[in-house]
Amino acid sequence: MLASLVPILSLMLSTFLMMVAFGLQSYVVPVRAVAEGWSTQTISMIATGYTIGFTLSCIVTPKFVLLVGHVRVFVALITMLAIAILLCALVVDWPAWMLFRAISGFAISGSYLIIESWLNEKVTNDNRGSVFSIYLITTMVGTIGGQYLVPLGDPSNTTLFILCGIIFSVALLPTALTSSPLPAAPTQVRFNVPTLYRRSPVAVAGAFLAGALSGAWLNLGGVFTQRSGLTTAEGATLLASVLIGSSLSQIPIGRASDRMDRRLVMVACGAVGTVSCLVMALVAGGPPVLLYIVAACVGSVIFPIYALNVAHANDRAQPDEYVEVSSGMMIVYGIGTISGPIMVGPIMDRFGPGSLFAVLAVYFLLYGAYAAWRISRREENDGLVAKTDFQAMAAQPLGAEAAAAALQPDALSEERVEDTTTPEWRQP
Dist. CA 428–CA 389, nearest whole Å: 12
Taking the chain, what is the end-to-end CA distance rounded to the nearest angstrom? 20
The predicted pLDDT at position 370 comes to 93
Question: Given this model, what pLDDT does residue 164 score?
Answer: 95
Sign of CA dihedral 419, 420, 425, 426: positive
CB contact at 8 A, 113 and 61: yes
How far is the C-alpha of 328 from the C-alpha of 197, rounded, in Å? 10
Q: Average pLDDT of the chain? A: 80
**Whether the predicted pLDDT of 1 surpasses 50:** no
- Picking from 251, 263, 297, 270, the residue whose alpha carbon sits closest to that of residue 209 is 270
The pLDDT confidence band at residue 361, using thresholds 50, 70 and 90, is very high
pTM: 0.75
Distance CA 235, CA 214 (A): 17
Nearest to 10 by CA among 97, 138, 107: 138
Q: What is the DSSP letter of 183?
A: P
Nearest residue to 238 via CA among 166, 165, 288, 164:
288
Q: What angle do CA 269, 274, 275 make, to 5 degrees?
A: 105
How many angstroms separate the CA atoms of 353 and 285, rounded? 9
Q: Is the pLDDT of residue 84 over 90?
A: yes
Residue 15 neighbours by CB distance under 10 Å? 26
Lowest mean pLDDT among 64-73, 90-99, 139-148, 241-250: 64-73
How far is it, in rounded angstroms, from Cα 97 to Cα 94?
Answer: 5
The model's confidence at residue 369, banded by pLDDT at 50, 70 and 90, is: very high
Q: 155 with 31: CB under 8 angstroms?
A: yes
Closest of 41, 39, 65, 20 to residue 404, by C-alpha: 65
